[in-house]
Structure formats: C-alpha cells, structure tokens
Amino acid sequence: MKSIIVSENEAGQRLNKFLNKYLNEAPNSFIYKMLRKKNITLNEKKASGSEKLERNDIIKLFLSDETIDKFSNNKFKKVHANLNIIYEDSHVLFVNKPAGILSQKAKDTDVSIIEHILSYLVESNQLTLNELQTFRPSICNRLDRNTSGFMIAGKSLLGLQVMSRIIKDRTVQKFYRAIVKGNVKEEKYLKGYLVKEEKLNKVNIYSKSISNSKYIETKYIPVYHTEEYSILEVELITGRSHQIRAHLASIGHPIIGDDKYGDAKVNLFYKKHSGINHQLLHSYRIVIPQLEELPNLSNKEFIAKEPEYFAQFYKK
C-alpha cells in the first residue's frame, strides 16, 4: 500500500489527472477499474476520479510495489547542473542561459535548460524524484538556442502560474541587447506584421496586414555605435517568434552572426576576426509589474549580464 499526501503544488487538479501523472504508464481503464474497486481511495473513501484535490488530501493506492513500479516511469534525465542564477526564492528561479543551450528539448536525447534546472533542484534537495512524478517545475519563457540571457522558471505551481500570466498579458517588460550591422544613432519604434513559414522555421516582415499575419511592435535605443556596428537595447513589445531578429533585418540592421536573417559577408568577417558563430542577441533585462501574489518580486528590475564576448564590441 502506498499513501500520498497532496502537496500545495499538486492541489487544484482532478484526481484522475494526478493519477495519470503518478501512474503515467497505466492505461485509463486500469486507473478507473482501481477506483471502482476501491483499490485507490481519496481520504479513505471511494472516488470517481473527478474530485478536485486539496492540500493535505490523502490518496491511498492499495497496489503492490511491483505494480506501482510497473506503471510509474520517471523520464527525468539528470545532468550535472550548470546554472548562472540571477535570482531565486521558493516560487521562482531566474537564470542567465548561455548561447547554444536549448530552452526545451526537441527530441528525447536533447539536454535543455529545463534538465539543468531540474537537476539543480534535485541536487540542492529542493525537489525529490517522487515529487517530479506529479509536479514538474518548468520555464515560462523561451529563447532561441543561440540567443543567450534571461530565463524565468517557476519552482512552485503559484510561481509558474503568475510568471506565465504576466508574460502572456505582456505586463512584464522585456529588454534585449543586440549587436547589429550599421551605425544606428537614434531610437526607433517599429511596427509591422509577421508571417511565419513553418516548413522553413523562418518569418517574414510586412508593413501591412496580410493573410495569417500577426501584428508586432519593437522598440530600440542605441547604447553604443560605430560606423560598422551598433549595440542596441531592444524592448520586445509583442513577443513573436524571431521577432527581433527579423524586424531589425527588415530595416537594414541585421544582428551580427545571425545565419538566418543576417548579412553573410558581415557574419563571415566577425567569425574570422572575433570568433562569432551565432547571433549576438542577449535577453538582458526584465521589469516585473505589481504582483499581489508574489510581493517580493513586485516592481523589481533584474539583469542578466551580457556574455563576455560582448565586451570586445565596446571600444575604449
């Protein structure tokens, strides 16, 4: 017999959803059969599976250890956690992702920033493998593989819900640093329309709305400029796939190192002379709005330091 006390992170979901996670290899027919036969109970009573769980509810599995092991498969891939932590509390974890690391896995053999975060939480005894079966901390925003910088992860259900909400409703301000081709001397507020080509994983920018287009806004301010290149602080007003990269390229200032939207000759030059082999785009700063649920984060600014290779572009 296995007894499970529902935690705060597990509360709020239906019993059958919880059991689908805990016995993730079991067919639904097995789970409902065990509920009907009272081999699985909730608070010592027969349950249908539709009950909404509350904190400290007790779920009992009158099953053998062999049966539980057979139907439980924790696919967590532990790695040696290597994180640059910006901020952490009991609900959230902010990290500075290096370029070259995936935000999330594209296939089972991949290792993403999520695996590093989960491994860190397990190694630091903030999370157990059993807890991972029914609640999995995760990231709330995504960055392209070769874009470095600020990533927001929710460690608790509340943290995940609140951070995901402020990203979705765009009340969190997000700023990037981009090193682009050309001499940019003035700030600018760009508006346009974006259409994604799914097969090519590429987007196109248009000045007017067309079929399947999505409205975008991008604001930038130059923080440093030379005749050859400029360093911009870019505010992402709308958050579309490849928005910054494609929007800047559309006005003749592609990001250096960007092999999809950039200038091939410029990219080759900086690869030979500076060792740059990916786009120089970094998620640099966020400003959190007023949050009643997470007052420690309210109205605060957090910065993910630029990668060391950015320093060579600030001439003395």
What pLDDT does 131 receive?
A: 87
Last residue in a domain, options 137, 168, 199: 168
Statement to judge: residues 217 and 283 lie in one domain: yes
Q: How far apart are CA 49 and CA 19, in angstroms?
A: 9
Contact in structure between 58 and 4 (CB atoms under 8 Å)? yes
Quote the pLDDT of residue 23. 95
State the sign of the Cα–Cα–Cα–Cα dihedral 253, 256, 259, 264: positive
Question: SS3 of 23, please?
Answer: coil
Range of the domain at 247: 173-287
Q: Does residue 292 form part of some domain?
A: no
Q: Are residues 49 and 146 in the same domain?
A: no
**What is the set of active-site residues?**
144
161 and 191 together in one domain = no
Measured distance CA(153)–CA(111) in Å, rounded? 16
Compute the distance between CA of residue 256 and CA of residue 278 in angstroms, rounded to an integer.
8
- For residues 181 and 116, give the distance between their C-alpha atoms in angstroms, rounded to a whole number: 34
Helical spans, DSSP H, in the chain: 15-22, 28-36, 65-71, 113-123, 129-132, 157-168, 243-250, 264-274
> What is the domain-level CATH number for residue 6?
3.10.290.10
Number of residues written out for the chain: 316
Same domain, 159 and 191: no
> Do the strands 45-46 and 148-154 form a parallel or antiparallel pair, or are they unpaired?
unpaired
312 in a structural domain? no
Task: Tell whether 302 is covered by a domain.
Answer: no
Sign of CA dihedral 153, 156, 160, 162: negative
Q: What is the pLDDT of residue 73?
A: 82
Token duo for residue 137:
């901390």
Are residue 93 and residue 58 in the same domain, yes or no? Answer: no
pTM: 0.88
Is residue 311 assigned to a domain? no
Is 107 in the same domain as 26?
Answer: no
List the end-to-end C-alpha distance of the chain, in Å, as a whole number: 69
Question: Do residues 41 and 143 both lie within one domain?
Answer: no
Does 163 share its domain with 110?
yes
Structural domain includes residue 294: no
Both 123 and 179 in one domain: the answer is no
The answer to the question of residue 102 being in a domain is yes
DSSP 8-state assignment for residue 184: -
Blockwise average pLDDT, block size 10, the chain, 316 residues: 92 94 94 97 97 96 94 83 95 97 90 95 91 92 96 96 95 97 97 93 94 96 96 95 96 97 96 95 98 96 97 84
DSSP letter string over 229-265? EEEEEEEESS--TTHHHHHHHHTT-PBTT-TTTS-HH
Q: Give me the residue label for tokens 């690869």.
A: 271
Residue whose token pair is 């009158």: 62
Q: Is residue 308 part of a domain?
A: no
Same domain, 8 and 35: yes
Could you give the CA distance from residue 137 to residue 75 in angstroms, rounded to a whole number?
A: 14
| 271 DSSP β-pair partners | none
In a domain, 77, yes or no: no
CATH number for the domain harbouring residue 153: 3.30.2350.10
Q: Do residue 145 and residue 191 come from a single domain?
A: no
Q: How many domains does the chain have?
A: 3
Query: Measuring CA to CA, which residue among 41, 30, 32 is closest to residue 2?
Result: 41
Are 198 and 275 in a shared domain?
A: yes
Instruction: Report pLDDT for 133.
Output: 87
- Residue 45 — φ and ψ, nearest 5°? -125, 160
